[in-house]
Structure formats: C-alpha cells, structure tokens
Amino acid sequence: MKLFIRWAVMALSVWVSTLIIPGIKVHGGAWSYLWVALIFGLVNTFIGSLLKVLTLPAVILSLGIFIWVINAAMLELTARWSTALDITSFWSAFFAALIISAVSSFINRAFLKVGKNNQN
C-alpha cells in the first residue's frame, strides 16, 4: 500500500513542478503523470542510486549539492525515455527536480507521521 501512496505522491509532485516551472510539461492527463512518476521512480532507483554511489566524492565536496544535479539528470533521462514528458533545458530539469523532491518529501513525511501515530 505504501508503494502506491508513494507513486501517487510522486505523480502529484511532478504535477506541481509542471505548474511552477515553465520549461517542463507533461502531455496527457492523470495517467500520463502516473506513467512519468513510474518511469522517474524506476530510473532514480536503479540508475540514480548507482550514480550517487559512484559520484560520492563529488557529493561530499559539494556538500550534497551534486545530488540535485544527478536528480536533474535522472529527470532528463526520464523525459528522453517517455513521450509524455518534455523538458526544455537543464535548468528546468534542475528546478523541477528540486520541487519534486521538496513536495514529495513533505507529503511523504506527513503520511508517514500519520501512519506512525495510528499504530500507537
């Protein structure tokens, strides 16, 4: 169940980023956002995790800022593999990745906190 909630949260985060950032656009309706969220999640899980481990010295030297560059690259890779997502520039991907991670962390923390309170 948590997996589906996180998937929906990711789709919502992508939607918010398309509202705020002018250089990112998803063609289609809710299914397209879910599709983009699925691809982005898979790309970020497999390729992004590997890149984060391989570039650990750069992440440490940049005090973690390089993680955002990797996330932007994963978002651009998602756009390349999906016909539903268009990104015009690296900076659009960079700021969209920031918004996606901020919105998804905020919503995930809210859901996880509610879930922990209900278990007690």
pLDDT tens-digit profile of 31-65?
999 999 999 999 999 999 999 999 999 999 999 89
Residues with Cβ < 8 Å from 22, sequence gap 6 or more? 92
Residue 6 included in any domain? no
In a domain, residue 75? The reply is yes
Grade residue 116 by pLDDT with cuts at 50, 70 and 90. Answer: low
The pTM score is 0.84
In a domain, 74, yes or no: yes
Asked if 15 and 99 touch (Cβ cutoff 8 Å), the reply is no
Is there a domain that residue 69 lies in? yes
Averaged over 64-78, what is the pLDDT? Answer: 94
Dihedral angle, C-alpha 10, 111, 101, 35, nearest 10 °:
0
- Using DSSP, state whether 24 is helix, strand or coil: strand
Q: How far is Cα 57 from Cα 74, in angstroms, rounded to an integer?
A: 19
In order, the DSSP letters of 36-104 are HHHHHHHHIIIIIHHHHHHTHHHHHHTTTHHHHHHHHHHHHHHHHH-SSEEE--HHHHHHHHHHHHHHH
Q: What was the pLDDT predicted at 114?
A: 56
Q: Is 15 a domain residue? A: no
Q: Is the pLDDT of residue 120 over 70?
A: no
Domain-located, residue 4 = no
The model's pLDDT over 77-106, given as tens digits with 9 standing for 90+, comes to 999 999 999 999 999 999 999 999 999 889
Q: How far apart are CA 78 and CA 44, in angstroms?
A: 9
d(CA 24, CA 79): 9
pLDDT for 5 equals: 85
**Could you tell me the residue range of the domain that residue 75 belongs to?**
32-97
What's the total number of domains in the chain?
Answer: 1
Domain contains 109: no
